[in-house]
Structure 1
Amino acid sequence: MAHIDYYLATISPFTYMNGTRVEQIAKAHGATLTYKPLDIMGLFGATGGTPPKDRHINRQEYRLQDMARRAKLAGLPLNLKPAHWPTNMAPSSYAIIAAQNAGGGDLGAFVHALTRSCWADEKDISQTDVIAACLTEAGFDAGLAEADMVNSADTYARNLEEGVAAGVFGAPFFIVDGTERFWGQDRLDDLDAFLAGKL
């Protein structure tokens, strides 16, 4: 049985545009999935990346065009310049870690609800009430929004360290069985093909 480590950033538009496809792909191939939210800005700093606001204007303009195309292909609404972006991604990331540890809901739906809240619903995902509403929507206890913060913070920091060590440099990023790497929402078909034994 294959295992997928899913490195994600809750403020990443491309994590949002995954929808719940990675969960569907994992289920189709009987693969297990571990969610590893991390600090994308810290990841950029550790791996030679540049935050979007600091990129050359050519890259900034292309990013927005590509985001619009990706969202249209995914059939998802997208605000290219959301009111609450960037925002502190730690609280929403901690909640994903707490929910994964607690179980009892749909983790893929929770991640999608968070990212949709940022990129389509004009909500600030650093706020406890927004996180709690997303938890409830996905079948989790809303109290997980503030549960076990110390352990979640440790895991969040460790996810960044482990990601860098494993070769991660962006989000979303998928690593199968610790070796095969796939970067980006636009590589989900490749992930699917690899798990099917076609790549």
Structure 2
Amino acid sequence: MAQIDYYFATLSPYTYLAGLRLEEIAAKHGATINYKPLDIIALFGRTGGVPPKDRHISRIEYRTQEMQRQSKKLGMAFNLQPAHWPTNAAPSSYAIIAAIQDGSGDVGQLVHSFVRACWAEEKDIAQDDVIRACLADAGFSSDLADSGLLLGAETYTANLEEAVERGVFGAPFYITGDDQRFWGQDRLEDLDRHLADQ
């Protein structure tokens, strides 16, 4: 069975714009997704990237145009300047890690619920009530917001280290079992084609 290691950040607009297309591709090819939330700002610092606020104005302007184009192309609601961004991504990431361990709901839907809350619904994904609502919406117990915090912290850190070692430098980032790497939601079609050729 094909495996896809999925490195993402709950603060990433491009993780939001990926929607649930990865899950659709995985289902189509009978692939398993290994969800790996990570600290995107720390990743930038480790791999030569620059946080959005510190980039040259030409890159900032291009990113703004590209996010608008992509959201329109995909028919997705999108707020260029969300009220609660940036925020602390750790609590939502810990909740995802706890949900993976629990296994009772839909992890893909949970990831999308968090990024949608940030980029389309003007919600602060660091807040307990938002985390609980996202968990419940994806079929998990909202009490997972309070569980496995040590494991969440350890796994979140380990995901970052693993990502750096495996050549990840942005989010979303997809790595197949044969070490083919795909960076960005706009490479999902290429990932789909690669899995079809295996």
- Give the TM-score taking structure 2 as reference length: 0.99
Cα offsets for 1:2-37 (capped at 9, x unmatched): 100000000000000111000010010001111000
Aligned to 2:189: 189
Q: What's the offset of the Cα at 1:75?
A: 1.3
Could you tell me how far apart the structure 2 residues matched to 1:147 and 1:75 are?
35
Could you tell me how far apart the structure 2 residues matched to 1:160 and 1:187 are?
21
Q: Give the superposed CA RMSD.
A: 0.8
Structure 1 stretches of at least 4 aligned residues deviating more than 6 Å after TM superposition: none
The answer for unaligned runs of 5 or more in structure 1 is: none
- Match status 1:3 vs 2:3: yes
Q: Could you tell me whether the CA contact under 8 Å between 1:14 and 1:184 is conserved in 2?
A: yes
Aligned to 2:105: 105
The number of residues matched between the two structures is 198
SS in 2 for 1:4: strand
- Match status 1:179 vs 2:190: no
Could you tell me how far apart the structure 2 residues matched to 1:81 and 1:166 are?
32
The answer for unaligned runs of 5 or more in structure 2 is: none
SS in 2 for 1:85: coil
User: What residue identity is the alignment partner of 1:148?
Assistant: G
Q: 1:78 to 1:181 in 2, by over 3 A?
A: same
Aligned to 1:38: 38
Aligned to 2:164: 164
Q: 1:159 to 1:73 in 2, by over 3 A?
A: same
Aligned to 1:66: 66
Could you tell me how far apart the structure 2 residues matched to 1:150 and 1:42 are?
19
Aligned to 1:126: 126
User: What residue identity is the alignment partner of 1:124?
Assistant: D
